[in-house]
A and B are shown apart, each in its own frame.
Chain A
Amino acid sequence: MPGSRDTSFIPKHTTGKTEKSKIPRQLFLGTILVRVLFFSVMIATAGVFFYERKLSQELAVEIGSFRDATKSFEADEEKLQTVLAMDKKLAQASDRFYNGISVASILKAIEVSTIATTRIENLDISRESDLELALEAKILTDSFDSVLFQRSILEQSETLKSVELEDVSISIASQPSGTPGAIVRSSGSKEVSFSMLVDLDPTSVPALTTAQSDESDEILIPVAPVNSEPVASEEASTEVTEPEANQNNI
């Protein structure tokens, strides 16, 4: 029919070129950033959640281990007391052992440092503490020269070098001395008396046991059992009782 070309029910043959709808995709940079941010946040949230959970579990395990360890320590209270008691006893024993002094050594030092013309009337030794050891002696002799000589001898002594002489006085002796080895005096003879004060260094006169231990570098182990008889070996008596030239002067 003329003028109605488009009214036929027969589909028209097209040229093969479909006409695409051209809708522009508007993908802005801001949109990308927002989406990256969002998904990053979501991933980070999940990561943080699970990591925090893992740390919580780890902390719980560590706390459990710590509690077990402290319980184990508390359960060992008896062991601790045993160790502390032994440590205390050893410390005290060591303290006493190494702070012991030898009065026998002091007497020996005095013997060696006493000249033949002097005689010790009185000797006082006092130990106020482990660090303080004082010696005071009242000595008689025949002249001031002897006093000076005695002082020079004492000052040469390793043990008695910090000596002070006091109360030096002269008097007339009234009685003869009957002591063998002492100064020879007769009625009317002059007698010079003086006091000797010495501050001794306790480490210079260690106890015999300590000195022997230091020499042999061994620990002292008393041999006798508890509550036994005290040791009285023969060597003990022979070591210290060697005759000295001036031993009768005291």
Chain B
Amino acid sequence: MIGNSLLTQVGIAGLAIGIIVTYIQPTFTEIKNRQDEITQTKEELAKVNAVNQRLNLLYSSVNEIPQTDRLALATYIPDELDEVKVLRDLSIISGQARLLVTNLKYSKTGSRSSGQTDTTNATVPLPKVHSFDLSFTSPYESLKEFLSLLEKNNYPLDITEASIAQEDSGQMDVVLKINTYSVK
């Protein structure tokens, strides 16, 4: 049994304090750190799980898009543009509007200028711009029909520059710069 002498008591007290200082107190700090780490890991795990869950949900949504809609989207903004097909489409539309085409050519490829920012979401990635030059002569009615047909096309054919002049014969002399877009 533990003795009762003063020296023994002091020794026991010193040992107890020593244990507190050298083991319990540092271990308490360690426990606090562990608890923080566990909490943080749980939070991060919850985030990762939420992201995984969201990703699976979005992937399912993407897969549920009907094939016709996918094709429509691929037509509206193709991954890569076949400029010959656009020229062909412009030629067909011009023919349907009974225009006398004097010039139709693929002008250039480029990115949208910095001024062309989206009004609602500034983070919209910029598509690649493909420009086409089209010049023709036509009556005013045919010009309007042509413009209407352009706007009804399955993919955007945006007129960015238009110069319309009236000839002496009453016909319109029209020069257009038409833009369409692709992802790449």
Contact with B along A139-158 (1 / 0, CB 8 A): 00000000000000000000
Smallest CB separation, A134 vs chain B (Å): 10
Known A35-B12, A45-B19, A237-B149: A250·B75 in contact at CB below 8 Å: no
- Which residue in B12, B56, B158 is a CB contact (below 8 Å) of A38? B12
Contact with A along B160-171 (1 / 0, CB 8 A): 111111101010
Q: Which of A5-13, A50-58, A186-194 faces chain B?
A: A50-58
Q: Is the CB of B162 within 8 A of A240?
A: no
B residues less than 8 Å from A79 (CB atoms):
55-56, 59
B residues less than 8 Å from A125 (CB atoms):
159, 161-164
Q: Does B24 contact A (CB under 8 A)?
A: yes
A residues less than 8 Å from B163 (CB atoms):
122-125
Contact with B along A204-237 (1 / 0, CB 8 A): 0001110000000000011111111111110011
Question: Which residue on chain B has the smallest CB distance to residue A85?
Answer: B183
Q: Does A82 contact B (CB under 8 A)?
A: yes
If over half of B's interface residues share one DSSP class (helix, strand or loop), that class is named, otherwise mixed; here it is: helix
The interface centre, meaning the residue of B49, B68, B159 with most chain A CB atoms within 10 A of its CB, is: B159
Known A62-B41, A63-B41, A66-B41: A231·B140 in contact at CB below 8 Å: no
Q: Does B100 contact A (CB under 8 A)?
A: no
Q: Does B111 contact A (CB under 8 A)?
A: no
- Which residue in A63, A107, A233, A248 is a CB contact (below 8 Å) of B152? A233
Question: Which residue on chain A has the smallest CB distance to residue B114?
Answer: A129
Q: Which of A14-22, A96-104, A159-167 faces chain B?
A: A96-104
Q: Is the CB of B24 within 8 A of A41?
A: yes
- Which residue in B2, B59, B76 is a CB contact (below 8 Å) of A222? B76
A residues less than 8 Å from B89 (CB atoms):
229-230
Q: Is the CB of B158 within 8 A of A62?
A: no
B residues less than 8 Å from A34 (CB atoms):
9, 12-13, 16
Question: Which residue on chain B has the smallest CB distance to residue A91?
Answer: B124
Contact with A along B70-102 (1 / 0, CB 8 A): 011111111000100100010011001000000
Q: Is the CB of A236 within 8 A of B149?
A: yes
A residues less than 8 Å from B74 (CB atoms):
226
Question: Which residue on chain A has the smallest CB distance to residue B31?
Answer: A52
Smallest CB separation, A244 vs chain B (Å): 10
Q: Bound complex: CA of A49 vs CA of B19, how far in Å?
A: 12
A residues less than 8 Å from B23 (CB atoms):
45, 48
Residues of B within 8 A of A (CB): 2, 4, 9, 12-13, 15-16, 19-20, 23-24, 27-28, 30-31, 34-35, 37-38, 41-42, 44-45, 48-49, 51-52, 55-56, 58-59, 62, 65, 68-69, 71-78, 82, 85, 89, 92-93, 96, 113, 115-121, 124-127, 140-141, 143-145, 147-149, 151-156, 158-166, 168, 170, 172, 181, 183
Q: Is the CB of B149 within 8 A of A41?
A: no
Question: Which residue on chain B has the smallest CB distance to residue A177?
Answer: B168
The interface centre, meaning the residue of B44, B74, B126, B164 with most chain A CB atoms within 10 A of its CB, is: B164
Known A130-B119, A230-B154, A236-B148: A73·B52 in contact at CB below 8 Å: yes
B residues less than 8 Å from A65 (CB atoms):
45
Q: Is the CB of B147 within 8 A of A107?
A: yes
Q: Is the CB of A41 within 8 A of B4?
A: no
Question: Which residue on chain A has the smallest CB distance to residue B15?
Answer: A38
- Which residue in B85, B160, B164 is a CB contact (below 8 Å) of A123? B164
Known A49-B27, A93-B73: A131·B117 in contact at CB below 8 Å: yes
16 further interface pairs, Cβ-Cβ under 8 Å (given A104-B151, A226-B75): A38-B12, A59-B41, A91-B125, A96-B76, A121-B165, A125-B163, A130-B118, A130-B119, A180-B170, A227-B85, A229-B89, A230-B154, A232-B96, A232-B152, A236-B148, A248-B140
